[in-house]
Structure 1
Amino acid sequence: MAGPVIAVTDSVFPTLDPAKAALARLNPTYRMAKSASADDILAVARDADALLITYAKITREIIGQLTKCKAIGRFGLGVDNIDLPAAKEKGIAVNYVPDYCIREVSDHTMALLLSLIRKVPLSNKLVQAGRWEMPAVVPIRRIEGTVLGLVGFGHIPRLVAPKAQTFRIKVIAYDPFAKAELFKAANVESVDFDTLLQRSDYVSVHAPLMAQTRGMMNADAFAKMKKGAYVVNTARGPLIDEPALIAALDAGQVGGAGLDVVATEPLAKDSPLLGRDNVIVSPHTAFYSIEALEELQSKCASDVARVLSGEKAVYPISA
């Protein structure tokens, strides 16, 4: 007996074998879209039973033309590329994987932060150019006793906290939705946003991208920070107002930035963020490890299989 039809809108993976293994019990048929354009998605998804998506935009217009879809599985942490209200109206279950790369992203956050503080990329650049000069990289502050402010206190920042505390960094966090017991258990002080900006030597952004958080790190926020404080972003590029960050870097108000995400990816070759010794940019790789991608595919596809089998998803999300 033929199983369900699974439409894959887009994929960045070398293979979808982990996802297919998780769906194997349903004996599905797969259709891969030629591109992530609306027309190409609909060509394979219009009468599909489920969608597996990565970065493709699943708009209200696309959802409105899905005739049999029961589940949309997102290979990722966020769901800002899916029109959730439209999916809910159509009775389509949406699932994601909120915990698949939390170890990797928290590690990458610390890697960017420590590299900024200790000026590792600049030191390497100088040595590679034949310059063995300590004066060229001073001053460098002692890490112990400094303050890290976490914007958001979800899965990832809750793993960043103990890693930072290992270096005897004081950790504070702003998250109006996190429960008091989470802060207490992590030995992290809960503060409001302005207090976090004013007290932190380093600000690491971990908020979800929503209308109210887009551009939250703006000129006003940078002005409230300690002069010379560092900013790290491993969450979503648009959380930071990039022109405001560039202006703050130029003025010396922000001492440096470690960015794994930017407002528009890939970063433009003429971006003012490039060519700065106090800015580190990695190409949206914080999530990556071989193990993380296998976990991501397996968890996402397993939930799609559950929904198609009439079971409850482990990681459902609703509008």
Structure 2
Amino acid sequence: MEYNIAVVNSSSFGQIFTEHWQELEKIGSVKRFMLPTDIDGKSLAEKLHGYNIIIASVTPFFNKEFFDNMDDLLLISRHGIGFNNVDIKAAKEHGVQVAIVPQHVERNSVAENELANLMALVRRVVPSSERERAGRYQDRAQFMGNEFSGKTFGVIGCGNIGSRVAELFSIFGGPVLVNDPDPHVSGEWLTNHNVEQVDLETLLKRCDYISLNASLNDGNYHLINSETIKNLKKGAYICNNARGALVEEKAISDAIESGQLSGYAADAMEVEPVPADHPFLKNDRVILTPHTSAYTYECLHGMGEKCVSDVRNIVAGKRPVRELTHTID
């Protein structure tokens, strides 16, 4: 059988670790596609006509319309975690296997980047560095920050990555609150890391620093909005390395302007790439990074290895490995 492999909207697969691309070329023809993030299903199927294996990034959305118009597709292997942009039911109806990178591969990389972005935000690293480059050393008193030691931390979404963020927060000695209707952590883990489970309102009212790590679903779209922000502790900071649509972006801007929110750091936005006229880009109380939380050598190597193994399994007539969510002990 002839295999045609499409790498869709991934700017990193096969770039740093070229051996992963070369391994796929041993199996079949390989081509990279960079398509509009909001491309409709039928147009997406037309663009990928003739390809029976797809390595997929976080966009575009492979919906029912896509599968209804896509013949002979065998596999979608996500170069990342989560099934947010794949209609799993439609894939199953059409006999298409869907696989993701095991959660542990991205755990440290994303959680550490979350902490790095948050610390840079709180200590005003980016604007103060820009002022130094501009020869404005005398402006340094404008860049006052806050300490992390002894503060109260909140994690919304305590799964694979959120639990690691909570562990990192715990090193500062303050209480760590988590909000998750179905946390994948044990009671022993909660005790060992001084973590308390609370409702969302309590978390927002008590926490100085808040990390968003929830998966996106119908129940938490714009979870942080103009109403929930009213419960926010005045002067708190929020960091979001999960999904951009967890927050209502205008509400974030308004809260920063009013002083209710001291700053916002995000590695994920509702629309990516971020439009050039987005108000976040003009606000030095906001740090944006271009969805690079997984961009460590260790993480990208593991992600690429998993995608290659998925393709090998399909070619060998085997099912790709699909890791189930596990409990953190």
TM-score, with length taken from structure 1: 0.87
Size of the aligned set, in residue pairs, is 314
Change (3 A) 1:317 1:94: farther
Question: Retained in 1: the 8 A contact 2:14–2:304?
Answer: no
Task: Return the match for 1:221 from 223, 228, 235.
Answer: 228
**d(CA) in 2 for partners of 1:15, 1:40:** 25
CA RMSD after TM alignment: 2.7
Unaligned runs of 5+ in 1: none
User: What pairs up with 1:238-253 in 2 under 5 angstroms?
Assistant: 238-253=245-260
Deviates more, 1:82-91 or 1:245-254: 82-91
1:93 maps to what in 2? 97
Task: Return the match for 1:116 from 110, 121, 127.
Answer: 121
**d(CA) in 1 for partners of 2:212, 2:224:** 9
Deviation at 1:40, TM superposition (A): 7.0
Question: Retained in 2: the 8 A contact 1:215–1:240?
Answer: yes
Deviation at 1:23, TM superposition (A): 5.4
Question: Retained in 2: the 8 A contact 1:58–1:82?
Answer: yes
1:162 maps to what in 2? 167
Deviation at 1:192, TM superposition (A): 1.4
Deviations 1:127-170 (A, max 9, x none): 334233553233x3332110110111122122222222222242
Deviations 1:96-135 (A, max 9, x none): 1133322221111111121222222233234334233553
**d(CA) in 2 for partners of 1:65, 1:189:** 48
Deviates more, 1:198-207 or 1:309-318: 309-318
Deviation at 1:64, TM superposition (A): 1.5
Deviation at 1:44, TM superposition (A): 7.0
Structure 1 counterpart of 2:198, which letter?
Answer: V
**d(CA) in 1 for partners of 2:324, 2:98:** 6
Question: Retained in 2: the 8 A contact 1:248–1:254?
Answer: yes
Percent of matched pairs sharing the same residue: 29
1:76 equivalent to 2:85? Answer no
1:212 equivalent to 2:219? Answer yes
Question: Retained in 1: the 8 A contact 2:24–2:30?
Answer: no
Change (3 A) 1:230 1:9: closer
1:13 equivalent to 2:12? Answer yes
Deviates more, 1:220-229 or 1:67-76: 67-76
Question: Retained in 2: the 8 A contact 1:95–1:315?
Answer: yes
Partner SS for 2:117: helix
1:183 equivalent to 2:195? Answer no
TM-score, with length taken from structure 2: 0.84
1:277 maps to what in 2? 284
Deviates more, 1:285-294 or 1:199-208: 285-294
